Structure 1
Amino acid sequence: MGMRDMAIDYDLLPKRSILCIDVKSFFASVEAVRRKIHPLDAYIIVVSDKKRPGSVVLASSPRVKGEFGIKTGSRMFEIPNDERLMIVEPSMKLYLKVNSMIIEIFKRFVPVEDLHIYSIDEVFLDVTASWRLFGDKFEIARKIQRTIFKELKLVVTVGIGDNPLLAKLALDNEAKNASGGIAYWSYQNIEETIWKIPRLGDMWGVSHGYIKKLNNMGIHSVYDLVHADKHKLKDRFGIMGLQLYYHAWGVDYSILSEKIKTREKSFSKSQILQRYYYMEEEIVLVIREMVDEVAMRLRANNVAAGKVALGLAYSRDIEEKGFKHQRLLHRGTNSTKELTVYFIQIFKCYWRGQWVRQIYVVCGKLQPAIYEQLDLFTSNEQLERNQMLDEIMDTIRLRYGKDAIFWACSLMKGGTFLKRANHVGGHKG
């Protein structure tokens, strides 16, 4: 305790009542409720595509995780042949609808500025100012649990902390497995909580890349990180090194109501192909389709890209894993035709005939769209035609659906646009 007091003065840190709330096995739980089964009694597995043996598991019920070891990221071929198991494909539109219903429940307990959506199944609430209406942080957590179960039949777990970091760590490392689904981590019990986290990977914000680098420095646990030389961490990782160090001490100055809503810095799209692609014309076709979708998003947000990046991942059997290369544009654009030219140039420059399994396109360095900026090598008439064509296609798709109008090449072998047209977040709606 003495070392902690000497290193950090917790009395000077902001102390709030933060709840980090997670819907237990969200996708699988929604599917269970849909079938009038209690989420904790269900044996449901949600997979991206039941027809593919290599299909990824998106969610599994708590019982499936506990009894079969099947969890998010497992593969279809790993699922045992057991009559209790119910394998279903995702219903993304339903999940988004239920998510919006949950958010509306949270708004009964806190104002919008004290609510931060972290993911589709996880949020942070600052209930510091809500105790006069609903009781202390523990009572509020229990009321939220009861309300969501009563109205939606979903089970939620709650991490409570003196700051968002502590709340998140309490959720991930204790609440999810606690009998009542609630855990509280405070400044007063740092040594008994954070310091006892067994693996670096269980710390919020410590990625696999950082774990390897930390291991090379002789840091193998959170306890090691706490007692590391923060100056060496800063030399090795820059400001992120100091953040890792202070997070291990439970320090987080974030205030939800003061959070800065950053604008999206790039638009991207990633696609895992249904099979290996090795013919140039088929790979180019998929790149065209993906760029078309990203360009439409650029136009919808009235921005242009000043940089493009293309990434390819190859077959597992190839020693070379793939590539990712970028190109700065001499002027910003959101034209499908112009962007497609840049992406295909990158592809032809770096692809050497390898079998491709995943494609990733990014449009970054965003700037306000200014159509008056002319290209010396393209006539004004051509620019106007391209712009008009993009606008017409965007209008038709927004009104009648993505597959209402499409490029004829998408009908060719290898095209994926029509199959994905009505997907949400990459999965079936």
Structure 2
Amino acid sequence: MAMQIDYTKMPKRDILCIDVKSFFASVEAVRRKIHPLSAYIVVISNKNRPGSVVLASSPKVKKEFGIKTGSRAYEIPDDRRLMIVEPSMALYLKVNQMIINIFKRFVADEDLFIYSIDEAFLDVTASRRLFGDKVDIAQKIQRTIFKELKLVVTIGIGDNPLLAKLALDNEAKEAPDGLAYWPYERVKETVWRIPELTDMWGISGGYQKRLHNMGIYTVYDLAHADPFKLKKRLGILGHQLYYHAWGVDYSVLSERVGPKEKSYSKGQILMRDYYSEQEVVLVIQEMIDEVAMRLRRHQAAASGIALGISYSRDIEEKGFRHQMLLPRSTNSTKELAVYFMQLFKRYWRGQPVRQIQVTCSKLAPADYEQLDLFTPAELDEKNHAIDTVMDEIRQRYGKDSIFRAHSLMKGGTFLQRANHVGGHKG
């Protein structure tokens, strides 16, 4: 028997979840003086690769051609109306900051949570005296962003962040006015009617399968399942999913706690399968160089690392991800490389590599870097001096102004990607 929820005891706020419609494609449309909803634009990571991923497509392209984020270049039809463009990440980041500045006219910093480059949560509870009720504020934000930036935004409104997000994803994005309000009182006719479990915030394909194995196929089923069995099978997340199916979310934006542990990482999908150990090692070293530079820029040192390797889709094995604790915290490129190479050589068995991820975690201020009794102080000082000089030159003249000689060898990607932003062309 499912429990009944007393919504009068739930925290009730005026939350907006705002999404810029097809953000990358819309920015490219405005750049060309085309209304975002009238454009036929596809933003693709690399026009020269048939397997390149579509990063964004304008609403008309999604509707008429079925091309959306995650589609591949070879799926794009040969149609004269379509404009295929490569990303301009620096421009997107600039426009994103302009949007954030507009949000800050309506809410205090603590009531703003940036969820992604094209999505944000705003708690407008304290803004009502200045700007009207939640719907008035949502409409004013829509008008302001379109007037100043010519971008179209859709907004989900809810009594908590969960309901606002669900309203956005399941109604507002298709609503004529781009707005949808899901309060506690309408959970049964809104949340319970979400057609697919994966349309719920926080339910991945993997959890959908596990829920299916429990006889749970819809959000309605989830809301009427035994919460104790859910917790037994899925742990604390099972309990959370049960309450989410009832529209319950206790989080308050201004009271949110930041991530428990910060880390720095870099991932890269290779242009082809790499079979040679020398080539894979080369790319790992280039990526370590960049992550180590970020550590030093933030005066941090890492005492934990993780290496993720994904194999070619042509073989059954998926790859591996392993981590290790270091004997001391460090931000030395050379020292970090030694440990990453240990991980790679311990677990790689010659499979074709297509994707690499390096992560440095368990951070501490670099001022408190531990001394290593087995490393001569002069060598430590020499490595530090090399890193410092390279960092200064790159910060002043660009990342490709100085590089290690191995980047000129076959398989190196550093020079090709040096001026990318977020992994894509700036």
Relative to the length of structure 1, the TM-score reads 0.97
In the TM superposition, what is the alpha-carbon distance from 1:298 to its structure 2 partner?
1.4
Provide the secondary structure at the position in 1 that maps to 2:233.
Answer: helix
Q: Which residue of 379, 387, 407 corresponds with 2:404?
A: 407
In the TM superposition, what is the alpha-carbon distance from 1:237 to its structure 2 partner?
2.1
What does residue 67 of structure 2 align with? 70
Provide the secondary structure at the position in 2 that maps to 1:166.
Answer: helix
In the TM superposition, what is the alpha-carbon distance from 1:324 to its structure 2 partner?
1.3
In the TM superposition, what is the alpha-carbon distance from 1:218 to its structure 2 partner?
1.4
Relative to the length of structure 2, the TM-score reads 0.98
Are 2:311 and 1:314 equivalent residues in the alignment? yes
What does residue 126 of structure 2 align with? 129
Distance 2:239 2:411 in 1: 48
What does residue 234 of structure 1 align with? 231
Query: Deviation digits for residues 373-396 of structure 1, max 9, x if unmatched?
Result: 221221011011111111111121
Distance 2:258 2:348 in 1: 38
What does residue 330 of structure 1 align with? 327
Provide the secondary structure at the position in 2 that maps to 1:129.
Answer: helix
Provide the secondary structure at the position in 2 that maps to 1:82.
Answer: coil
Provide the secondary structure at the position in 2 that maps to 1:191.
Answer: helix
Are 2:86 and 1:82 equivalent residues in the alignment? no
- CA 141–254 in structure 1, closer or farther in 2 if over 3 Å, else same: same
In the TM superposition, what is the alpha-carbon distance from 1:370 to its structure 2 partner?
4.3
In the TM superposition, what is the alpha-carbon distance from 1:108 to its structure 2 partner?
1.1
Q: Which residue of 387, 391, 395 corresponds with 1:394?
A: 391
What does residue 94 of structure 1 align with? 91
Distance 1:61 1:336 in 2: 42
- What amino acid is aligned across from residue 233 of structure 2 in structure 1? R
What does residue 114 of structure 2 align with? 117
Which runs of structure 2 are paired with 1:29-428 in the superposition (5 Å)? Answer: 29-262=26-259, 264-370=261-367, 373-428=370-425
- Farther-moved stretch of structure 1 (394-403 vs 142-151): 394-403
Q: Judge conservation of contact 2:156–2:168 (CA < 8 Å) in 1.
A: yes
- What amino acid is aligned across from residue 425 of structure 1 in structure 2? G
- What amino acid is aligned across from residue 174 of structure 1 in structure 2? E
Provide the secondary structure at the position in 1 that maps to 2:70.
Answer: coil
Distance 1:129 1:387 in 2: 50
Distance 2:369 2:118 in 1: 43
In the TM superposition, what is the alpha-carbon distance from 1:369 to its structure 2 partner?
2.3
- What amino acid is aligned across from residue 200 of structure 1 in structure 2? L
Distance 1:67 1:249 in 2: 35
In the TM superposition, what is the alpha-carbon distance from 1:265 to its structure 2 partner?
2.4
Distance 1:49 1:349 in 2: 34
- Farther-moved stretch of structure 1 (377-386 vs 258-267): 258-267
- What amino acid is aligned across from residue 391 of structure 2 in structure 1? D
In the TM superposition, what is the alpha-carbon distance from 1:262 to its structure 2 partner?
3.0
Query: Deviation digits for residues 195-221 of structure 1, max 9, x if unmatched?
Result: 000101000011122112111111111
Distance 2:370 2:94 in 1: 42
- CA 372–352 in structure 1, closer or farther in 2 if over 3 Å, else same: closer
Distance 1:31 1:7 in 2: 48
Distance 2:340 2:182 in 1: 48
Query: Deviation digits for residues 41-78 of structure 1, max 9, x if unmatched?
Result: 00000000001000000000000000000000000000
Aligned residue pairs: how many?
426
Provide the secondary structure at the position in 1 that maps to 2:77.
Answer: coil
Provide the secondary structure at the position in 2 that maps to 1:374.
Answer: coil
Query: Deviation digits for residues 124-166 of structure 1, max 9, x if unmatched?
Result: 1111111121111111111111111111110000000000100
| Percent identity over paired residues | 74
- Farther-moved stretch of structure 1 (357-366 vs 407-416): 357-366
Distance 2:356 2:255 in 1: 37
Unaligned residue ranges in structure 2 (runs of 5+): none
Q: Judge conservation of contact 2:329–2:369 (CA < 8 Å) in 1.
A: no
Query: Deviation digits for residues 174-200 of structure 1, max 9, x if unmatched?
Result: 000001100000000000000000101
- Farther-moved stretch of structure 1 (236-245 vs 81-90): 236-245
Provide the secondary structure at the position in 2 that maps to 1:358.
Answer: strand
| Runs of 4+ residues deviating >3 angstroms | none
In the TM superposition, what is the alpha-carbon distance from 1:398 to its structure 2 partner?
1.4
Provide the secondary structure at the position in 2 that maps to 1:7.
Answer: coil
- What amino acid is aligned across from residue 96 of structure 2 in structure 1? N
- Farther-moved stretch of structure 1 (63-72 vs 252-261): 252-261
Q: Judge conservation of contact 2:191–2:219 (CA < 8 Å) in 1.
A: yes
